[in-house]
Structure 1
Amino acid sequence: MNNTTLLLDPSDNVGVALTDLDRGQKVALNGLELEIQEFVAAKHKFAIREFQPGEDILMYGTIVGEATQAIPKGNAITLQNIRHKTRHYTKTTGHFNWKAPDVSKWKERTFLGYKRSDNQVGTANYWLVLPLVFCENTNVKLLQEAFENALGFSEPNPYEIQIKNLISGFQNKKITETVAEKPVKNQSRIFENLDGIRFLTHDLGCGGTRQDAEALCALLAGYINHPNVAGATVMSLGCQNAQASILLEKLSKIQKGQPKTVIICDQQQEGTTDQLIQKAIKETFEGLVEANQAQREPFPLSKLVIGLECGGSDGFSGISANPTLGRVSDLIVALGGSAILSEFPELCGAEQNLISRCESEALADKFIHLMEAYNESAKRVGSGFDMNPSPGNIKDGLLTDAIKSCGAAKKGGTAPISDVLDYTEYLKTPGLNLLCTPGNDVESTTGLAGSGANVILFTTGLGTPTGNPICPVIKVSTNNKLAKRMPDIIDFDSGSIISGEDTIETCGEKLLELVVQVASGTMQTKAELNKNYDFIPWKRGVSL
């Protein structure tokens, strides 16, 4: 790769700056030589020919914007001279022939997972405690403190020392501790084969529409059915819209094999809070004893379900990290496993590529319907997919939603699309799946886990601590600077692609090796170590 500039596709009419480009600097792109006419920051784009107002801006071989004024050759592409535009798509799938990657070296590889009775395989073994309504959040937190302290899952907060130092200074007392003295992790684990108890809270369950309650119950059912979950304790007030009966009905539609243990604790039935908590503790402890009987054993990589996500994206996302995820996705699919590509607002502009890869016209129609209905609902409140890029995205080179989307779609690799899932639909078909979620990082990762992803790969160019309560989230940086600046949240650096040390293929294989380690429980992700257990259900309104 040229270490200063890049042309992503031979048909593109703008180049990408891999480093800062100064005015007067001469650059070469695929045999084309030109002089930079004004400063172009790294990750941003520049014109490789002259543009007139209304002419299309091409990247990734497709339309990502249009010129709003004349742009001289060699000038920077900015929000002042372009705006969002996408190519029109058709509803025909065409004839798609996929050349699968060579996976011979991976065919005999295994990871150590937990087998469930429905033939799913978990990459972790958790017990889940969740509320059906926000009224039960306090009781969930009571249970969390009691269980984590008693079972050895809690850790002292290192920032307590800093507060104690401040108190000592305020009271003019001698300081006896320093922030550098980190507390020792509690190692007194009671259940050796239990990776933890995960406690969810949320602000839904009542007061919204009946559709909100239905969607919440479907999402929570997906979490209970998840292969990383051994069983669940459900806290209910009793009178809320999200009834336990709805949750159990949703669960019965997706679960296979022997039903998992689901403990329902209804506060209005039990009486006092003390009676409720005592029942929850007693029955949950019995469930933990049962869950602890599970042990890791080897399984083929075809049992992996990879969630594909990006957040805090930058101008390198579609060049390094996202294509690396695409390579891992292709490898997993070729091995008979599954991958799930989410974030529909960030597929705007990449529709035709995805439609052409759908295995049937019915799937293409479902994808188009979900995309258009979602976009229209956003427009009704004065928004739209074109308003998806955040200030951070724009600052780092993702000027239009189409530029962002065509790079984001690279996470899905090149495989055929075997299924299209609406939000809360559970995975049922191996191969590459599309899942309708917002682009919002936590709402999307929450949805990916709810649809069955047992490992999530998450690319970021700006940095984000996002994790998930039940599914390990591997954070992949797009550039070396981020990996060095925020090593506490980054698990894997794909910046070696930008520097030319790695190809997408070699970087993808290295990342898959890390996936195997994380799936086997031999390595924890930074999000797990930092307890970034983020959970936000999508309230089916407008969230981009």
Structure 2
Amino acid sequence: MPDAARLITLHPQDNIAIALADIAAGEAIDGGLAATREPIKRGHKVATRAIAAGENVIRYGQIIGQATHDIALGDHIHGHNLGMGAHAQDYAHASEAHALPPSAAERTFDGYHRADGRVGTRNYLGILTSVNCSGSVAKFIAEAAEKSGLLDGFPNIDGIVPITHGTGCGMASDNEGYATLFRTLSGYAQHPNFGGILLIGLGCEVMQIADLVGGREIRADGALRYMTIQQTGGTRRTIEKGLAELRSMAALANTATRKPAPVSELMLGMQCGGSDGYSGITANPALGVASDMLVQHGATTILSETSEIYGAEHLLTRRAVSVEVGEKLIERVRWWEDYTARNKGEMDNNPSPGNKRGGLTTILEKSLGAVAKSGSAPLTDVYLFGERIDKSGLVFMDSPGFDPCSVTGQIASGANLIVFTTGRGSVSGYMPTPCVKIATNSEMYARMSEDMDINCGDIVTDGVTLQQKGAEIFEMFIRIASGEQTKSEQLGFGGVEFVPWQIGAVM
């Protein structure tokens, strides 16, 4: 790599640069007028001028923290000399909401058209549990179905997915935690990537099957069956009845075939995890370009992980379509400040050890890079965890930063496609929704190419532009939505990544 390309300054106001390769102590920087005072690892920060103790450290033209000690030109900047500091922001609600021009060319993907008007990207049968007590039986039914070759005569069905979890009882029946789980289970029961749902409870749990299905139509296609183990007569009888119900639903689900649908029917959940110093330079802004392209085609893209936009929320409130939408986002941030405080945590708990090894120092720095996934589209609305998303464009869904939990909420809200950017590497999948994994750097991509779908490291190594990479990501979304398998699907991931958000006391 040429010396001129070994450091990058991301904004004219920045007082740091990012190392694009490992740099030894004494290497020339600042046009040869100065030198690094210590080794700088790839993805880490180096001071491009002297920074006094208490002075703001600037990246992306934004504050990422304050110097805890005097920092000299050429110093490595990390946890030893950079802390959070004050970070009050001017939210300027709806001051920078500029609508993107619609795409001139209509694009389509091949999906499964459902009776409620939504379009699925996969066609699974799901076995959904109301409580952890029915989890083993759900798995027994799925295993028995596989051993018996139940789906052998149904080529249009992608498989059977048992969806088990560790809650549903030992909780209050009228609080925020109950409402969150209710939304999550209801969202999965109605998800367009399922051609049919078998809902199984024990019978005596707090999350009652009767409450989940009573008095309303869950699926317009009628492809919902439900039972409790206690009422059915125990494990063996429940397995037998479950297999019979699956055969009945399979006959219905198998009639679905892929047909062209406009890209506007895609709903993309966007995630980042195992981030590094490259995340905000390569994969996240490239995904932002792809997100904008989807929005221009009328689709919906979902940004989440409220605890990981902390310190960058002002970039979103300014793009809110109204003051009310901006205030909805800040209300969720304030809720999180209270939530973490009452649980004796802190909003700046991140970055994780892996993030720090990759070059990230404060949650402000991590959040600014994470928000880059959202592109430049206006923020259309803000939703609760697992709440049905009913608007197109860029939206925000409240969630923890814990990736499996956040993705669970996005799928419950309707996401029929997931994308996950990572700098450290990720091995996960989220049935029934396919997940595209994007590497931020070429070194990790080469090491984990069997798990990664796209490499964004070539933005740094080969001069690929963000626009070119964003278009590549967009085209992969269409192929995956049309049936091409992701690396996660090929490896069989998705069996343990359903993680509802547990809020409140376990009793």
Report the TM range for the smaller structure's normalisation: over 0.9
Match status 1:88 vs 2:49: no
Letter in 1 for 2:454: F
Aligned counterpart, 1:429: 391
The equivalences for 1:27-106 within 5 A come to 27-28=29-30, 34-85=34-85, 87-98=87-98, 100=100, 103-104=103-104
Aligned counterpart, 1:530: 491
Aligned counterpart, 1:407: 369
* Distance across 2 between alignment mates of 1:369 and 1:492: 35
* Distance across 2 between alignment mates of 1:397 and 1:463: 15
Shift of 1:97: 4.5
Counterparts in 2 of 1:349 and 1:260: CA distance versus 1, 3 Å: farther
Answer whether contact 1:221 1:251 (CA < 8 A) is retained. no
Residue of structure 1 aligned with 2:166, choices 203, 209, 213: 203
Aligned counterpart, 1:244: 209
Aligned counterpart, 1:181: none
**Could you say what secondary structure the match of 2:380 adopts?**
strand
Structure 1 unaligned residues grouped into runs of 5+? 154-188
Report the TM-score when normalising by structure 1: 0.88
* Distance across 1 between alignment mates of 2:435 and 2:259: 21
**Could you say what secondary structure the match of 1:357 adopts?**
coil
* Distance across 2 between alignment mates of 1:233 and 1:280: 8
Q: RMSD of the alignment, in Å?
A: 1.9
Match status 1:217 vs 2:190: no
Aligned counterpart, 1:139: 137
* Distance across 1 between alignment mates of 2:404 and 2:295: 25
The equivalences for 1:269-288 within 5 A come to 269-288=231-250
Counterparts in 2 of 1:32 and 1:440: CA distance versus 1, 3 Å: farther
Shift of 1:99: 6.2
Letter in 1 for 2:431: P
Aligned counterpart, 1:482: 444
| Greater CA drift, 34-43 or 413-422 | 34-43
* Distance across 2 between alignment mates of 1:17 and 1:132: 49
Shift of 1:209: 3.0
Aligned counterpart, 1:368: 330
Shift of 1:32: 9.3
The equivalences for 1:236-385 within 5 A come to 236-248=201-213, 258-385=220-347
Answer whether contact 1:321 1:459 (CA < 8 A) is retained. yes
* Superimposed CA distance per residue, residues 293-341 of structure 1 (whole angstroms, 9 cap, x where no aligned partner): 0010011211111110011111111111111111111000011111000
Counterparts in 2 of 1:250 and 1:492: CA distance versus 1, 3 Å: farther
Shift of 1:213: 3.3
* Distance across 2 between alignment mates of 1:394 and 1:471: 30
Letter in 1 for 2:39: F
Answer whether contact 1:109 1:300 (CA < 8 A) is retained. yes
Letter in 2 for 1:25: E
* Distance across 1 between alignment mates of 2:196 and 2:179: 21
Report the TM-score when normalising by structure 2: 0.94
Shift of 1:530: 1.5
Answer whether contact 2:418 2:434 (CA < 8 A) is retained. yes
Shift of 1:539: 0.7
Letter in 2 for 1:221: S
Answer whether contact 1:127 1:197 (CA < 8 A) is retained. yes
Aligned counterpart, 1:228: 193
Q: How many residues align?
A: 499
* Distance across 1 between alignment mates of 2:195 and 2:86: 45
Shift of 1:90: 3.6
* Distance across 1 between alignment mates of 2:262 and 2:32: 47
* Superimposed CA distance per residue, residues 359-380 of structure 1 (whole angstroms, 9 cap, x where no aligned partner): 1111111110111111221122
* Distance across 2 between alignment mates of 1:372 and 1:100: 30
Letter in 2 for 1:473: C
* Distance across 1 between alignment mates of 2:215 and 2:374: 29
* Distance across 2 between alignment mates of 1:541 and 1:313: 29
Residue of structure 2 aligned with 1:190, choices 153, 177, 180: 153
Shift of 1:250: 9.9
Answer whether contact 2:276 2:360 (CA < 8 A) is retained. yes
Shift of 1:259: 4.8
* Distance across 2 between alignment mates of 1:249 and 1:70: 64
Letter in 2 for 1:140: A
Answer whether contact 1:62 1:87 (CA < 8 A) is retained. no
* Distance across 1 between alignment mates of 2:90 and 2:221: 43
* Distance across 2 between alignment mates of 1:251 and 1:376: 35
Letter in 2 for 1:263: R
Residue of structure 1 aligned with 2:427, choices 457, 465, 487: 465
* Superimposed CA distance per residue, residues 405-453 of structure 1 (whole angstroms, 9 cap, x where no aligned partner): 1001101111000010111111100000101111111111111111111
Counterparts in 2 of 1:26 and 1:102: CA distance versus 1, 3 Å: farther
* Distance across 2 between alignment mates of 1:152 and 1:34: 70
* Distance across 2 between alignment mates of 1:450 and 1:422: 11
Counterparts in 2 of 1:193 and 1:489: CA distance versus 1, 3 Å: same
Match status 1:513 vs 2:475: yes
Answer whether contact 1:124 1:228 (CA < 8 A) is retained. yes
Shift of 1:101: 6.5
* Distance across 1 between alignment mates of 2:215 and 2:431: 21
Counterparts in 2 of 1:329 and 1:16: CA distance versus 1, 3 Å: same
* Distance across 2 between alignment mates of 1:193 and 1:271: 32
Letter in 2 for 1:203: G
Aligned counterpart, 1:497: 459
